[in-house]
């Protein structure tokens, strides 16, 4: 039996997702003898690691102490943090380009034309730096400018919380409004929302915020609840366990970094529940779609809002959104359905009816066509969360 140590924290949803993925691999391809103790990301290396005689290690390596301790064992190890790029260990993690692209597209779909990024200090974590760079690239390609604010909060510095939040609030006041902000992770999204209250800025009407990792506890504790991108860390944990298994059996270091994507999708909450469109009639129609889509409205219900020509209204909506009224109705319904699939145990038949589909079979057909998987397969990604 292979003996595997898991040096992965339990304090955040991303890491807990990794553990769920490892557990799934262990059930399907084990058994392993797993050594695991709950701990925090910044905790020192465990004392037992110096004399441990196991076969493999999965670790979120966040500082040099942990890196040195793991390398000193000589035991096959896989890094699932990516804070260091030159450890000589295989790394598996998130492909951040589609994460940033999805964040930008979600904010753009809110009708926003001004964008900003809030993150942690450069050099602390390559993943967060890449999210910033890719988001800026998306904004620039669209012909806009992306403002950036890097908070002092970081693993190498204990900030003055009040000073930091006041600086963030001052920056938020300078941004053109309304503005869409991507935060590098959900914690940072929480900081932005707190600073908005200090700056007396309305969320989402003046500032729309989207985070990364979709920690449902953290996101729903925010005021208002934070929209976030689910990067499917459970899949990353599963693939990391698979990579480690190959490493332990073949005794050969896989040198290539493995980046997994695309993310599962956006868990839309109140922090981005807004719409910024100058054409008032179009804005009213789109707002009607987003408020009533899950109630089973049809295209003709939207066109009844036209003051003049229904066909002209449909063309104006398509020009602004880049898709038809029917496609927008379907998108809103599927977004709501995915949130219910991931965060509730409601039967699929009830989810279909709650999201505006006429019958479960039609919902399942539309879901499969648009998501390239069944609703059940999508839900199974999150089954281990509970």
What pLDDT, in 10s, does the model give residues 138-187? 999 999 999 999 987 655 555 688 899 999 999 999 999 999 999 999 99
Band the pLDDT of 382: cuts 50, 70, 90: low
- pLDDT beyond 60 at 73: yes
The residues, ordered by sequence, that sit 6+ positions from 383 with a Cβ below 8 Å of its Cβ are none
For 203-229, what is each residue's pLDDT tens digit? 998 999 999 999 988 999 999 999 999
The pTM (predicted TM-score) of the whole model is: 0.80
Q: How far apart are CA 95 and CA 231, in angstroms?
A: 9
Q: Which of 251, 218, 200 is nearest to 76 (CA)?
A: 251
User: Which residue do the tokens 């009213």 mark?
Assistant: 284
Listing from the earlier edge strand, what are the strands of the sheet with 33-36? 33-36, 3-7, 56-59, 77-79
pLDDT of residue 261: 81
For 251-285, what is each residue's pLDDT tens digit? 777 677 899 988 888 988 989 987 777 788 888 89
Rg of the chain over CA atoms, in angstroms?
23
Hey, what are 48's tokens? 């037992």
């Amino acid at each position: 039996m292979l003996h595997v140590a898991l040096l992965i924290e339990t304090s955040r949803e991303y890491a807990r997702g990794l553990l769920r993925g490892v557990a799934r691999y262990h059930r399907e391809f084990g058994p392993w003898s797993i050594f695991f103790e709950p701990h925090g990301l910044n905790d020192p290396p465990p004392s037992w690691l110096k004399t441990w005689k196991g076969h493999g290690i999965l670790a979120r390596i966040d500082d040099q102490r942990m890196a040195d301790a793991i390398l000193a064992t000589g035991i096959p190890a896989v890094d699932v943090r990516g804070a260091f790029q030159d450890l000589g260990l295989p790394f598996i993690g998130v492909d951040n380009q589609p994460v940033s692209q999805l964040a930008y597209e979600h904010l753009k779909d809110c009708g926003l034309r001004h964008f900003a990024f809030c993150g942690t200090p450069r050099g602390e974590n390559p993943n967060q730096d890449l999210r910033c760079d890719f988001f800026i690239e998306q904004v620039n390609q669209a012909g806009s400018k992306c403002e950036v604010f890097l908070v002092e909060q970081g693993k190498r510095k204990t900030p003055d919380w009040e000073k930091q939040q006041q600086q963030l609030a001052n920056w938020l006041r300078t941004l053109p409004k309304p503005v869409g902000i991507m935060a590098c992770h959900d914690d940072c999204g929480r900081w932005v929302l707190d600073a908005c209250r200090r700056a007396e800025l309305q969320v989402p009407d003046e500032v729309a915020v989207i985070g990364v990792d979709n920690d449902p506890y953290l996101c729903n504790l925010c005021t208002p609840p934070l929209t976030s991108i689910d990067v499917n860390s459970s899949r990353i944990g599963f693939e990391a366990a698979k990579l480690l298994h190959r490493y332990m059996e073949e005794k050969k270091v896989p040198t290539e970094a493995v980046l997994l994507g695309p993310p599962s999708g956006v868990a839309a909450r109140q922090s981005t529940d807004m719409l910024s469109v100058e054409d008032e009639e179009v804005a009213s129609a789109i707002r009607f779609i987003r408020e009533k889509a899950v109630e089973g409205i049809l295209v003709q219900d939207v066109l009844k809002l036209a003051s003049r020509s229904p066909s002209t209204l449909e063309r104006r909506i398509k020009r602004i959104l880049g898709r038809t009224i029917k496609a927008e109705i379907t998108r809103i319904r599927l977004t709501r359905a995915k949130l219910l699939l991931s965060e509730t145990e409601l039967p699929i038949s009830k989810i279909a009816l709650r999201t505006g589909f006429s019958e479960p079979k039609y919902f399942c057909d539309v879901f499969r066509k648009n998501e390239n998987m069944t609703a059940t397969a999508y839900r199974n990604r999150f089954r281990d969360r509970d």
